[in-house]
Amino acid sequence: MAQVHLPFEISPQPDDTTCGPTCLQAVYRFFGDDLPLDRVIREVPMLASGGTLAVLLACHALQRGYRARIYTYKLQLFDPTWLRPGGPDLKERLQAQLEFKQDPRLQAATAGYLKFLDLGGELRMEDLTLSLIRRYVKQGVPIITGLSATYLYRTPREHGPHCDYDDLRGEPSGHFVVLCGYHQDQRLMSVADPLLPNPVAPGQIYQVPIERVLCSILLGVLTYDANLLVLQPRRKQVGHEH
């Protein structure tokens, strides 16, 4: 199919740090799993520095009976050799790495991934292409992605506790959105964005060039993003028919 656009809806995120739980709640709702947004926000762990991680969203979904697969591009956390076929024990490598890397966010991410693996989550590393995204979307599966908001929006970098735009003092900013469609011929990706208003479009569902989305995902390595999170119910739930 040259184009697919899922009937996806997403609520506005209540504040600057809840984009991740808002995306997760929208995916739950898409699958007919109607959890209130305030409950998802309350139950998903947040980092001391603000925001959350894709792996913490995944752990929440695993505990609700979903299957969860993460495609990661975060080389600061994962050595590519760990994710080759026949690679070493991931949990052992993650735990051993902690002896050499003391960054608090890396430690929090490591704890999250150890739990993710214990809960039955699947971790992969695969070239980021339209074909990879299309594999799921054309089957009716939206994808949560952690990416660089700075690159996606083409806005100045952000500085300070209120995330003010500052092209000199600012740093790249991370964000979660949901990929919910594509138009292959026009090279466009449909994005469901919890941020309202946002710098791209007047609404929360909009289309941007596929190449910009792929670059934004990979540039998520500058924060603790750079991933795709694929969630699927283990059993058919009341709601959408696929």
Note the pLDDT of residue 162. 80
Angle formed at CA 29 by CA 27 and CA 30, multiple of 5 degrees: 65
Residue type at position 100: F
Per the document, the length of the chain is 242
Q: CA–CA separation, 20 vs 227, rounded Å?
A: 13
CATH top class, domain 3-233: alpha beta
pLDDT tens by residue, 152-206:
999 999 998 888 999 999 999 999 999 999 999 999 999 999 999 999 999 999 9
Note the pLDDT of residue 201. 96
pLDDT over threshold 70, residue 31 = yes
Model confidence, pTM: 0.95
- Within 8 A by CB and 6+ apart from 56, the residues are 20, 44, 45, 112
Tell me which residue of 7, 24, 38 sits closest to 230, measured CA to CA.
24
Q: 149: which 2 tokens?
A: 């908001």
pLDDT over threshold 60, residue 242 = no
pLDDT over threshold 50, residue 70 = yes
Give the bridge partners for 175, in sequence order.
147
Q: CA–CA separation, 209 vs 159, rounded Å?
A: 27
Distances (CA, A) of 216 to 51, 73, 149, 204, 223: 18, 12, 7, 18, 11
pLDDT tens by residue, 79-130:
999 999 999 999 999 999 999 998 999 999 999 999 999 999 999 999 999 9
pLDDT tens by residue, 37-51:
999 999 999 998 789
Higher-confidence residue of 148 and 239: namely 148
Q: CA–CA separation, 122 vs 129, rounded Å?
A: 19
